[in-house]
Structure 1
């Protein structure tokens, strides 16, 4: 099982953690919502839970809870800029479909 982070995404995570002044890394998970059923969630992590899986890539720790890991195993976290919009992108090989608005996905 693995989660990877591109160089661009790692730079942004490190920048956000530095601005915040604390944090072990970034939690990547899923929640039930939207047209297709699941949506990604990102949040800072200050403390690890015993059941958390920790992946380190390009100097960044990505923390994943066991329930989410089944849906996002193999995912690459990227950061992209398109015109005036920028944000994290999830390259998830488990995705079977995305909703039209891009907010949710299905595996």
Structure 2
């Protein structure tokens, strides 16, 4: 499993580092793909203190991001970004494997 199979933009790394610094203990952001959502799969973002054996760890710009091996299969070649727009700011996954996605951007199908 190569480090280049999932990437994190500088914007996302800065935001993750900022949010993680507010937590009482050191945390890493987990990016996971779960079944469900309006298109079949949905992205899930959470903070965790522990790394699992099958996790890919990406450390960038003071941020640590975890992706489990099952989610990584659906996220290969994807990029995690943090986008600030007039309607709000959010983490977004730019996933070349997604055949379609819903309007909210949190759900996709392959």
Asked if Structure 1 and Structure 2 have the same fold, meaning a TM-score greater than 0.5 normalized by the shorter chain, the answer is yes
Aligned residues: 107
Partner of 1:9: 12
- Root-mean-square deviation over aligned CA pairs: 1.6
Partner of 2:62: 59
The runs of 4+ residues in structure 1 deviating greater than 4 Å are: none
Q: List runs of 5+ in structure 2 lacking aligned partners.
A: none
Task: Return the alpha-carbon distance in structure 1 between the equivalents of residues 50 and 43 of structure 2.
Answer: 20
Q: List runs of 5+ in structure 1 lacking aligned partners.
A: none
Partner of 1:98: 101
Please give the TM-score of this superposition, normalised by the length of structure 1: 0.88
Matches within 5 A, 1:1-107: 1=2, 2-107=5-110
Query: Which deviates the most, 41-50 or 97-106?
Result: 97-106
Task: Return the alpha-carbon distance in structure 1 between the equivalents of residues 38 and 80 of structure 2.
Answer: 22
